[in-house]
Structure 1
Amino acid sequence: MKARTGLFFAAALAAALLQIGFLAWMIQARADILRHGREVRLKVEPVDPRDLLRGDYVRLGYGISVLPKTLFSTPPAGTLAEGAIVLVDVQADEKGLFQPVAMHLPQGAPPPDEKSVRLRGALRSGLSPATDRVRLRYGIERFYLPEGEGRAIEADMRKRSFYVIAAVSAAGQAQIKAFQDGDTTLYQEPLY
């Protein structure tokens, strides 16, 4: 009986350690992107600021979220399913805002040039040969705010320009690093 209890305890401890290790790995991966990723500044557009379970947030849209299919370096042959990965190269314009310059499918994509930052996006809806626009999500479409501030910021976003500073890993994964009202930083994301 004692051996069975000991085995059960060891299995439970191993499962707990695996879960803690996985969570620590996720947190560290995000912190590494924020710490070492290349920064891009993107102009944002509001969508809707509330989540009943998680509090106020600003749902963000970007000029790089809907792109013309003509930006593909090699147009896709056939149809692409929702969720398919697309790589988007962005470069800073004269105002320091990053704009799309090219799109690639992961297989056979040329390396980005030194002026470009490559973002990894996923198709929000399928892409067929008849489609002329590509709709993408990058995983930076929500920014959570302190309780009660979502509506005020949403109203302000309709009156003046807001920006996101995103850190981008070498693999193209983006994390929001800062949220700005013009040149004023409203929120800075902590590493941990």
Structure 2
Amino acid sequence: MSGKRLIAAALAVAILQIGFLSWIIAGRAAILRNGQEVLLKVEPVDPRDLLRGDYVVLGYEISNIPVKLIANIPEGKQSSDEQSLVVRVKKGIDGYWHPETAWLDAAPVPTGTDEVDIVGRIGPGWDLRESATTTVSPYYGIERFYLPEGEGQAIQNDMRVRPFGVKMAVTKNGKAQIKALMDGDTMLFEEPLY
């Protein structure tokens, strides 16, 4: 291969990589800019990871969905497959959004004006038999929030003694992104668009 062809091929690959990364960043920014805002109450989980920097691991009320909330479990189905779980949340009088109902794969009814659907993934093997103690734990991609160096441990400790929340942006198809970490009504950290 000649030198000019090699340079042209390298430039084409670089342009494709830059285009792909730009597409990912622009998609996330579009959610943050245009998605409906939802405030979820945070439940503390772990402190930080020394290898990846300071962050807090976040759990929510929607992180453990009671099986009895899932409206469309097929008759006789006892365990889950790898699939989507659509969780419908509604704004409560406390200002936080709480789960109302859920569906495997897709919601059959459109949301009301004060409701939002958030889509998560559940892995195979969850017990789907209806009982008061059985829950499934979907993964939404909003379980970590990265913080400035040295802030993670203090915030994690504060989460155990007073209410924190996360302001989300949620698209019409249920994809959620974290917009801000809230300490009560005070915004501690806001995610930049880019």
TM-score, length basis structure 1: 0.91
The residue type equivalent to 1:80 in the other structure is S
- Residues 160/107 of structure 1: CA separation in 2 closer, same or farther (3 Å cut): closer
Q: Give the 4+ runs in structure 1 shifted more than 3 A.
A: 128-131
Partner of 2:38: 40
Partner of 1:12: 10
Corresponding position: 1:183 with 2:185: yes
Partner of 2:147: 145
Corresponding position: 1:88 with 2:93: no
Question: C-alpha distance in 2, partners of 1:164/1:125?
Answer: 28
Superposed, 1:68-79 pairs within 5 Å as 68-76=66-74, 78=77, 79=79
Question: C-alpha distance in 2, partners of 1:125/1:59?
Answer: 23
Cα shift readout 1:106-165 (whole Å, capped 9, x = no counterpart): 256322222210101111553244373111121111001111111111111111110000
Kindly state the Cα deviation for residue 91 of structure 1 after the two structures are TM-superposed. 0.5
| Unpaired stretches in structure 2, ≥5 consecutive residues | none
- Residues 179/75 of structure 1: CA separation in 2 closer, same or farther (3 Å cut): same
The two structures, once aligned, show a CA RMSD in angstroms of 1.7
Question: C-alpha distance in 1, partners of 2:74/2:120?
Answer: 15
How many residues align? The count is 189
The residue type equivalent to 1:47 in the other structure is V
Partner of 1:164: 166
- Residues 107/45 of structure 1: CA separation in 2 closer, same or farther (3 Å cut): closer
Percent of matched pairs sharing the same residue: 51
Kindly state the Cα deviation for residue 171 of structure 1 after the two structures are TM-superposed. 1.4
Contact 2:67 2:128 survives alignment (8 Å) = no
Cα shift readout 1:8-64 (whole Å, capped 9, x = no counterpart): 222111111111001001100010000000011010011112122321111010011
- Residues 127/41 of structure 1: CA separation in 2 closer, same or farther (3 Å cut): same
Question: C-alpha distance in 1, partners of 2:36/2:191?
Answer: 15
The residue type equivalent to 1:171 in the other structure is N
- Residues 58/107 of structure 1: CA separation in 2 closer, same or farther (3 Å cut): closer
Partner of 1:127: 126
